Structure 1
């Protein structure tokens, strides 16, 4: 396998955040350790947000502390505001993922402020980042908004024009928040953005599989040169602030596809499938994906 892909496991954040019954912290840590044992190294372990807004993620600092026992793990923490980003840094995080939406409707529904207000907070948070800390910039509703429909590429570019100069070394992730993007749209936006911002050397895609196009969109981004993809074990997930959106593409589906393509992910599919099977039966969870069922079918 000459080529390599980086899969970012976001199940412990995106997969768990919409589940109502609280998953015991000990069980979350067990899932984290089992995911690590499959070869996954970059894992979005949670989010620093208001416990009232997302009570499922209130124990994110406990998961961060558990990472100390996992050599080589890169625990990523999602933050939606400057205040929560500073709290994550104070908790010991050194890899933040700041999220804001292109769509004003979605950004206001999510964090009660306009996108440009969030952009200003991102800039201040970047300035406060200590040396050695890393930043990912998640551009939500880059393709489609649950309230306004398809998002114009010009609107995405206009927002990136403001954000990219604030931290050119940040990884930029375009997020298909609703799962309504199609492969041609994915290719068009990535090609345009990558050509406009040559100073950005790290790009990523966060794809949802609401309409069954998750893998197709990942492959379209791959053809554009993208090598970092978010995925959630068992296809768990769905944005609480995007009505109707289901989970991310399943991690096991991505690993299967890239294995068949001869692309190295460093992830042991045989070890991952049992973890995904257990994830799929978490009470209150909404699972997805196809590979898990295909590999465990009887007869």
Structure 2
């Protein structure tokens, strides 16, 4: 095995669940986190503090945050779109936050009802109020494509990051293919540009969707550019409610299979993960994706 392992962030409990209409019992969500942690996964996006009306599936954020803290080995981040939601997450006991804003104005207005510039100011205010010991990630949505504006230029991403990175240079930065329309050469180009421009950033991550079947190829392109943190959702669950047409995340089991076949450590038990993915695909209202689950387990 190579000495350059990849870190997988399991986002199924947030991104994978958020678009499912029938409410998943909180106890069931925690069971999935416990089982996924037992496979060797350590980093999770466990929930999001957002409007209960906008995303009813995540109305139990407080309980999920509290319960996940009792799961051994789990480092759980909470997605937050505003400084006020960050305060809520911290009040619920969160110790790791992932702030999200979009490159495109149309998507940011649709998602959080403000311009990207207003989100930058809000992010700065949030950082100023953060207590010690809180880990921080910055999720840059529509970094490659916007459902309303189309393909996003690399310079647009760089211009936004020019404003954001000096505010918290130690934050992990994730570039997100919100619509799943990115292609591998574009992913490589954008990551080459940002990694070169911002050498002070210690950790870059990639978040892909598999709408057009290129989620895994885009993960590989990001890896080749130097990215070592990958978001994925078991059973390929997910899809952004605020990005019309976007399908699920790249499947965690697909990511594990690809890297292990390349000789790159994931420290994840693929056989155990497949069994959990089979159950995830059967959640009422879920739309599952991925290929490895079907190839190895014969699951329809």
Give the TM-score category using the shorter length.
over 0.9
Instruction: Give the structure 1 partner of residue 220 of structure 2.
Output: 219
| 3-state secondary structure, aligned to 2:164 | helix
Deviations 1:250-277 (A, max 9, x none): 0000000011011111110011001000
Between the aligned partners of 2:279 and 2:15, the Cα distance in structure 1 is 16
Deviations 1:133-170 (A, max 9, x none): 11100000000000110011111111000000000000
**Could you tell me how far 1:68 is from its partner in structure 2?**
2.7
| 3-state secondary structure, aligned to 2:69 | helix
| 3-state secondary structure, aligned to 2:47 | strand
**Could you tell me how far 1:126 is from its partner in structure 2?**
1.2
Between the aligned partners of 1:235 and 1:273, the Cα distance in structure 2 is 11
Instruction: Give the structure 2 partner of residue 269 of structure 1.
Output: 270
* TM-score of the pair, normalised by structure 2: 0.98
- Runs of 4+ deviating beyond 2 Å: none
Instruction: Give the structure 2 partner of residue 155 of structure 1.
Output: 156
Contact 2:37 2:73 in 1 (8 A): no
Structure 2 gap segments, 5+ residues each? none
| 3-state secondary structure, aligned to 1:142 | coil
**Residues 225-240 of structure 1 correspond to what in structure 2 (within 5 A)?**
225-240=226-241
**Could you tell me how far 1:297 is from its partner in structure 2?**
2.1
Is 1:97 matched up with 2:98? yes
Instruction: Give the structure 2 partner of residue 182 of structure 1.
Output: 183
Instruction: Give the structure 2 partner of residue 15 of structure 1.
Output: 16
**Residues 99-114 of structure 1 correspond to what in structure 2 (within 5 A)?**
99-114=100-115
Instruction: Give the structure 2 partner of residue 293 of structure 1.
Output: 294
Instruction: Give the structure 1 partner of residue 81 of structure 2.
Output: 80
Between the aligned partners of 1:278 and 1:297, the Cα distance in structure 2 is 13
Between the aligned partners of 1:50 and 1:69, the Cα distance in structure 2 is 25
| 3-state secondary structure, aligned to 1:69 | coil
Between the aligned partners of 1:77 and 1:240, the Cα distance in structure 2 is 18
Instruction: Give the structure 2 partner of residue 170 of structure 1.
Output: 171
Between the aligned partners of 1:90 and 1:120, the Cα distance in structure 2 is 22
**Residues 49-64 of structure 1 correspond to what in structure 2 (within 5 A)?**
49-64=50-65
* TM-score of the pair, normalised by structure 1: 0.98
Alpha-carbon RMSD: 0.9
Deviations 1:91-119 (A, max 9, x none): 11111000000000000000110011011
Is 1:192 matched up with 2:193? yes
| 3-state secondary structure, aligned to 1:70 | coil
Deviations 1:197-239 (A, max 9, x none): 1111110000111000011101111011100000000000000
Deviations 1:54-77 (A, max 9, x none): 010011221111123222210110
| 3-state secondary structure, aligned to 2:282 | coil
Instruction: Give the structure 2 partner of residue 136 of structure 1.
Output: 137
